[in-house]
């Protein structure tokens, strides 16, 4: 006799968060015999298969509502006529679902008076991207008519009820490369030399800056430079290393700036009290690149302007005072970190604010977002996807943190990479000097050590 009893233990999902308990109810007076014992008859087998088919059908996604909604938005722009349609699946949807969405949208457009033709014969073209964020599937249709500016139509489909997402289909791979680990606090790391991989780094700590070189496959301490400061550090200390124009590095700490030179022997450091703003995008950061602008079908060379923020010397956040101003905003809500999204005619700034939300500032408006991120964000430029991505930590106070890459086709983030897990909570996330990678610092929950990683992105196949 086989008896299935109730199971009420919690289990962890793929992202490490606790899920609701699952209960398998006991089967009263169960008396299951083998097939050879003839109790499990053909009729019962048919019933079991029917139940399975019905449950599968109930679980299957119904995309028709979203397809009709998106079709209406597209036809409102193009009107009835000839159209070419291309579809790119950048979400975790499988081939079957993505084909269903494409076919359903085509059918809805045809019912609205659209005739599909080749691109050279079409009066309008639509490039549909199937994307997603943490809570919804997001479908973005970029509509182009003639030589004018393109328009964007977006619909969202909640992901509730769908589990076991196959993140392997994400279009970008987020890579995490270990750099350095120590028991003392790490605030930031700067790569000084590299040949394919980093070979010399500067590690900013609470009381010193270490120069470390890779020799014979092992990291060796080259020199330790002491940081002088007259006032005690705040409890939750933060700091940043930024390349300078006339010397090697500037080390920014609360109320202190240190000038570091590492080109000669020995390296030197000079620190002084200062309330000068910290660079968010420094003048030395090479961020001039070609970005596909939102709302445009062509690529445009966009230069991200330098931006600095004043950091409070007694706490762990930026005051919100910016230099220079972003459009009409010289002051934004106090924030922990910032990132940017290049546009054709402006830069969309993202501030992870003290109210627990990300504020989107375009120079004319300050929009408080509804999506849930952590307090550490950073921007990187790549040759993948939209050309630039935003890295963001997960929301919530968790023993184990994670970071994902997002893009912004409009004002809502779309996940373009799977989440990369860290051995503990992330305490710092800074864009590197070249702009195409970031440094993340996490404290290992098991060892207590601080660990530094380089994050970079690789385009999917």
Question: How high is the pLDDT of residue 301?
Answer: 55
Q: What digits encode the pLDDT tens for the residues 96-117?
A: 778 888 888 998 898 899 999 9
Residue (of 348, 365, 456) closest to 412 by Cα position: 348
Question: How high is the pLDDT of residue 284?
Answer: 67
Q: What digits encode the pLDDT tens for the residues 126-160?
A: 989 887 776 778 888 889 888 777 788 888 888 75
Question: How high is the pLDDT of residue 53?
Answer: 42
Query: What is the spatial distance between Cα 237 and Cα 159, in angstroms, rounded to a whole number?
Result: 38
What pLDDT band is residue 84 in, cutting at 50, 70 and 90?
Answer: very high
Percent of the chain with pLDDT strictly greater than 70: 78
Max CA pair span of the chain:
88
Coil/strand/helix, residue 95: helix
Q: pLDDT at residue 28 above 60?
A: no
Per DSSP, 18 falls in state: B
Q: What digits encode the pLDDT tens for the residues 316-366?
A: 999 999 999 999 999 999 999 999 998 888 899 999 999 999 999 999 999
* pTM of the entire predicted model: 0.67
Question: How high is the pLDDT of residue 160?
Answer: 57
**Which CA distances in Å does 419 have to 2, 168, 239, 290?**
40, 11, 25, 26
Mind giving me the DSSP string for 26-92?
Answer: --TT-----GGGT-S-HHHHHHHHHHHHHHHHHHS---HHHHHHHHHHHHHHH-SEEEEEEEEE-SS
What pLDDT band is residue 88 in, cutting at 50, 70 and 90?
Answer: confident
374, 354 contact by CB (below 8 A):
no
The contacts of residue 91 (CB under 8 Å, 6+ apart) are 98, 130, 131, 132, 137, 138, 169
Q: What digits encode the pLDDT tens for the residues 45-75?
A: 444 444 444 443 333 456 888 888 999 999 9
Which of 79-88, 310-319, 352-361, 388-397 shows the lowest mean pLDDT across its residues?
A: 388-397
122, 140 contact by CB (below 8 A):
no
Structural domains of the chain ordered from first start: 1-60 (no CATH), 64-169 (3.30.2300), 172-459 (2.130.10)
Beta strands 347-353 and 366-368 are unpaired
The contacts of residue 65 (CB under 8 Å, 6+ apart) are none
Question: How high is the pLDDT of residue 314?
Answer: 94
Question: How high is the pLDDT of residue 161?
Answer: 43
**Which CA distances in Å does 253 have to 250, 430, 461?**
10, 14, 41
Is omega for the bond preceding 109 within 30 degrees of 0, making it cis?
no
Q: What digits encode the pLDDT tens for the residues 395-439?
A: 866 556 899 999 998 888 989 998 999 999 999 999 998 889 999
Average pLDDT over residues 257-278: 94
**Which CA distances in Å does 388 have to 16, 171, 350, 456?**
28, 13, 14, 12
Q: pLDDT at residue 273 above 80?
A: yes
Tokens of 413: 């983030």
Q: Provide the mean pLDDT of the chain.
A: 81
Question: How high is the pLDDT of residue 49?
Answer: 44
Q: pLDDT at residue 37 above 70?
A: no
């Amino acid at each position: 006799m086989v008896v299935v009893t109730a199971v009420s233990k919690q289990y962890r999902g793929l992202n490490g968060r606790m899920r609701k308990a699952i209960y398998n109810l006991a089967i009263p007076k169960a008396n299951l015999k083998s097939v050879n014992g003839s109790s499990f008859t053909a009729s019962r087998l048919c019933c079991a298969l029917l139940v399975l088919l019905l449950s599968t059908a109930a679980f299957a996604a119904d995309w028709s509502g979203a397809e009709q909604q998106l079709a209406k938005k597209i036809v409102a722009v193009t009107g009835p006529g000839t159209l070419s349609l291309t579809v790119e699946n950048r979400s975790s949807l499988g081939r079957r679902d993505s084909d269903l969405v494409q076919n359903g949208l085509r059918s809805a457009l045809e019912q609205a008076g659209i005739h599909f033709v080749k691109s050279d014969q079409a009066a309008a073209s639509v490039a549909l991207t199937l994307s997603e964020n943490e809570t919804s599937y997001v479908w973005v249709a970029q509509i182009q008519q003639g030589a004018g500016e393109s328009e964007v139509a977006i619909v969202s489909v909640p992901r509730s009820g769908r589990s076991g997402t196959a993140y392997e289909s994400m279009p970008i791979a987020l890579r995490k490369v270990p750099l350095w680990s120590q028991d003392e606090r790490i605030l930031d790391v700067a790569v000084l030399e590299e040949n394919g991989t980093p070979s010399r780094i500067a590690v900013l700590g609470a009381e010193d800056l270490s120069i470390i070189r890779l020799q014979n496959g092992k990291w060796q301490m080259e020199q330790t430079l002491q940081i002088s400061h007259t006032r005690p550090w705040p409890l939750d200390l933060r700091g940043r290393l930024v390349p300078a124009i006339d010397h090697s590095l500037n080390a920014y700490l609360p109320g202190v700036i240190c000038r570091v030179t590492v080109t000669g022997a020995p390296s030197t450091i000079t620190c002084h009290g200062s309330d000068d703003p910290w660079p968010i995008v420094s003048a030395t950061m090479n961020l001039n690149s070609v970005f596909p602008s939102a709302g445009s079908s062509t690529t445009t060379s966009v230069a991200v302007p330098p931006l600095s923020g004043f950091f409070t010397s007694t706490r762990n956040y930026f005051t919100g005072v910016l230099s220079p101003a972003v459009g009409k905003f010289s002051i934004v809500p106090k924030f922990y970190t910032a990132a940017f999204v290049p546009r054709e005619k402006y830069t969309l700034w993202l501030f992870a604010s003290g109210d627990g939300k990300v504020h989107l500032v375009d120079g004319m408006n300050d929009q408080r977002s509804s999506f849930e991120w952590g307090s550490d964000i950073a921007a990187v430029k790549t040759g993948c996807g939209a050309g630039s991505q935003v890295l963001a930590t997960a929301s919530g106070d968790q023993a184990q943190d994670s970071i994902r890459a997002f893009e912004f086709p409009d004002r809502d983030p779309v996940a373009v990479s799977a989440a990369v897990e860290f051995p503990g909570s992330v305490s710092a996330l800074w864009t590197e000097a070249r702009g195409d990678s970031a440094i993340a610092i996490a404290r290992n929950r098991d060892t207590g050590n601080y660990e530094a990683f380089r994050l970079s992105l690789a385009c999917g196949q």
